[in-house]
Amino acid sequence: MTSQLLYFTDEQAPALRLAAACGLPAAAVERHRFPDDELRLRLPLAAGEAPADTLVLYRSLDRPNEKLVELLLVAGEARRLGARRLLLVAPYLAYMRQDIAFQPGEVVSQKVVGQFLAGLFDAVITVDPHLHRIATLDEAIPHGDALSLSGAPLLAGLIAARVENPLLVGPDAESRQWIEAAAATHGFDYGVCSKVRHGDRDVEIALPALAVRGRAVVLLDDVASTGHTLARAARLLGAAGAASVDVAVTHALFADDALQLLGEAGVREVWSSDCIAHPSNAVSVAPLLAEALGRLGVGAG
């Protein structure tokens, strides 16, 4: 049985880190955009060559709309040419936030995209998917091999190495799971804020009852998008006397001026995992992903 990792060139660095970590040969999918925005893709095959039996496609689904079409085209063609097993490694999984319809007819994108991926791939591996009201990833991607990993232990290790005696703070109730796990492993002091979201860029945050004055605070969360959640929390922490406020996130979406917003709110350093390629990347999830692929019988594990 042969295996190969496929990637797109804009994600070459993290894809090659994964290929090295799991001992898989890797090759790029060729991509051309026509003037009318359609895509021409080409699998890396010589004339008459069949694809590997198992293909692992690396595609992180930030800025996802066009990437979902890429997945459709690559998976469809790979199957057509005889690939037996298709695995998607999507370190960031898009469209997971909309998990119920708040108004009649509102598209529950988590279900639709989950079904779409389940139809294309035999297994999906992702990191810290944004699951609000469901407990497990296979409720969103309905097949047995939907693996959800967490980047928080890697970020906790980074924080322990870079900040002396940090006070770990989660910006909202959902972050409690990562904060508590990190605190348990490293013995960090910690607290979790409460948050009410009024709109995309409008959040209200209340700090927990904590002695913040003089502490080196690190805000830890799964994702920063507009940055308003972290910026609001950072401002409150600064006002409460924190000596410094750093930020660590699994997914560095950082839409528009998010990083500038964090700087203006007094954030000192921003660290992220390489789930989404970004200048703030400070830890690689490749070993984590390689171990998960190994559980699925792919690569050295």
Shortest gap between Cβ of 227 and ligand R5P (angstroms)?
Answer: 5
**Sole binder of ligand R5P in the list 11, 70, 128, 221 (CB under 6 A):** 221
Q: Find the part of the chain contacting ligand R5P (CB under 6 A) among 9-17, 75-83, 139-147, 227-235.
A: 227-235
Asked whether the beta carbons of 98 and 109 are under 8 A apart, the reply is yes
Amino acid at 167: L
| The two structure tokens encoding residue 190 | 């910690």
Q: Is 152 in the site for ligand R5P (CB under 6 A)?
A: no
State the number of binding residues for ligand R5P (CB under 6 A): 13
Of 24, 159, 212, 224, the one binding ligand R5P (CB under 6 A) is 224
Identity of the residue, 223 or 289, whose beta carbon is nearer to ligand R5P in the bound complex: 223
Q: Does the annotation mark 195 as catalytic? A: yes
Give the footprint of ligand R5P on residues 168-187 (CB under 6 A): 171-172, 174
* Residue 91 is a binding residue for ligand R5P (CB under 6 A): no
Q: Is 227 in the site for ligand R5P (CB under 6 A)?
A: yes
Residues 78 and 61 sit within 8 Å (Cβ to Cβ):
no
Among the options 111, 195, 228, 251, which is catalytic?
195
Q: What element of type H or E holds 113?
A: helix 109-120
Which residues, numbered 186-205, are part of the site for ligand R5P (CB under 6 A)? 203
Of 9, 2, 83, 86, nearest to 41 by C-alpha is 9
Q: Using CB under 6 A, pick the residue from 3, 60, 126, 226 that binds ligand R5P.
A: 226
Q: For residue 180, what are its two tokens? A: 């508590």
User: In whole angstroms, what is the distance from residue 237 CA to residue 171 CA?
Assistant: 11
Rounded CA gap, 151 and 107, in Å? 29
Rounded to the nearest 5 degrees, what angle is found at the Cα of 123, between the Cα atoms of 176 and 129? 20
Bridge partners of residue 195, in order along the sequence: 205
Q: How far is the CB of 148 from ligand R5P (least distance, A)?
A: 15
Residues within the interface to ligand R5P (CB under 6 A) = 171-172, 174, 203, 221-229
The catalytic site residues sit at: 195
